[in-house]
Amino acid sequence: MIITIDGPAGAGKSTVAREIARRLGYLYLDTGALYRALTWAALQQNLPVEKPEAEAPLAELATHIRLELAPVRVLVDDRDVTAEIRAPEVSRRVSYVARFPAVRAALLSLQKRIGAGGHVVAEGRDIGTMVFPQAALKIFLVASTTNRAQRRAQDLAKAGYQVDLTSLEQEIRQRDYLDMSRTIAPLTKAADAIEIDTDQLTAVQVIDRILQLIPTSAWRSAKIQ
Ligand code: DC
């Protein structure tokens, strides 16, 4: 059983996916964290990630560094980068890194390997369309740009970053554009995904709605909490 939760930045995927994984006793796979960790590693090496010539070194880097998603921690070659990968300079550049086909190919096989055992709740942009198209339940979360920017601002404030709401909205629009317009695996709803607009819902309400959609067969194998 695989559950996929896709959608644009700030639609509430992480909160919801993490809680559903916890309730089912499933593995939580945050695929954005992999793209972010690679972006962080590239910035350490001063790679000009917005430029086309960065594709080959980025793909090379993706296959040589060890990206690890430990429970609640993200490691690059054993270094804990959990906080660093959420920094604004990574957020601003990660969608450029994610546009390169060679980068996506390298991270696709890693994601498939992590999910090979099943019992996974995976979140991202192309999980229902590309990574796990065979998933039993596919969710696509949407929300207005204003709400998404407000949620991101709250998350960033908790992590100690002060950000201006207008520039955050602009950045979210730019990321949406980059994520939706790329040639490989753009952000798009899978034909068999269920769309949930989170604008008028609390996280608990979204979680409840998704839990109701989970087939009974999955609950039988789940560690119900
Ligand atoms: O969910 P997030 O904000 O942590 O994702 C960071 C970026 O990674 C996002 O702007 C696009 C990219 N991404 C992707 O292209 N495909 C995924 N499956 C997950 C994330």
Q: What is the 3-state secondary structure (H, E, C) of 134-168?
A: CCCEEEEEECCHHHHHHHHHHHHHHCCCCCCHHHH
Q: Which atom of ligand 1 is nearest to the CA of 36?
A: 6
Q: What pLDDT score does 178 carry? A: 92
Task: Supply the residue whose CA is at minimum distance from atom 2 of ligand 1.
Answer: 32
Q: What pLDDT score does 224 carry? A: 55
What residue spans define the domains of the chain? 2-207
The rounded distance, in Å, linking the Cα atoms of 34 and 94 is: 10
Task: Supply the residue whose CA is at minimum distance from atom 16 of ligand 1.
Answer: 125
* Distance of CA 59 from the midpoint of ligand 1 (Å): 16
In angstroms, how far is the first alpha carbon of the chain from the final one?
A: 17
* Distance of CA 33 from the midpoint of ligand 1 (Å): 7
The rounded distance, in Å, linking the Cα atoms of 210 and 106 is: 30
The rounded distance, in Å, linking the Cα atoms of 42 and 57 is: 9
The rounded distance, in Å, linking the Cα atoms of 66 and 72 is: 17
Q: For 175-189, how does the pLDDT look when each residue is reduced to its tens digit (9 = 90+)? A: 999 999 999 999 999
Q: Is the CB of 98 under 6 A from ligand 1?
A: yes
Q: For 24-52, how does the pLDDT look when each residue is reduced to its tens digit (9 = 90+)? A: 999 999 999 999 999 999 999 999 999 99
Contact (CB, 8 A) for 140 and 201: no
Nearest alpha carbon to residue 189 among 3, 7, 1, 35: 7
Q: 81 by DSSP, 3-state: which?
A: coil
Q: What pLDDT score does 223 carry? A: 59
Q: Report, as ranges of residue numbers, the positions in the chain whose pLDDT lies below 50.
A: none
Q: Is the CB of 124 under 6 A from ligand 1?
A: yes
Q: Is the CB of 138 under 6 A from ligand 1?
A: no
Q: Is the CB of 4 under 6 A from ligand 1?
A: no
Q: Which atom of ligand 1 is nearest to the CA of 126?
A: 18
Per the CATH hierarchy, to which homologous superfamily does domain 2-207 belong? Answer: P-loop containing nucleotide triphosphate hydrolases (3.40.50.300)
Enter the tokens of residue 31. 């695929």
Q: Is the CB of 99 under 6 A from ligand 1?
A: no
The rounded distance, in Å, linking the Cα atoms of 114 and 168 is: 32
* Distance of CA 35 from the midpoint of ligand 1 (Å): 6
Report pTM.
0.93
CB-facing half-sphere around the CA of 185: CA atoms within 13 A: 23
Q: What pLDDT score does 14 carry? A: 93
Q: Is the CB of 35 under 6 A from ligand 1?
A: yes
Q: Is the CB of 6 under 6 A from ligand 1?
A: no
The rounded distance, in Å, linking the Cα atoms of 181 and 216 is: 37
Task: Supply the residue whose CA is at minimum distance from atom 8 of ligand 1.
Answer: 32
Burial of 29 (0-12, 13-18, 19+ CB in 10 A): buried
* Distance of CA 211 from the midpoint of ligand 1 (Å): 24
> Torsions phi, psi of 132, nearest 5?
-130, 70
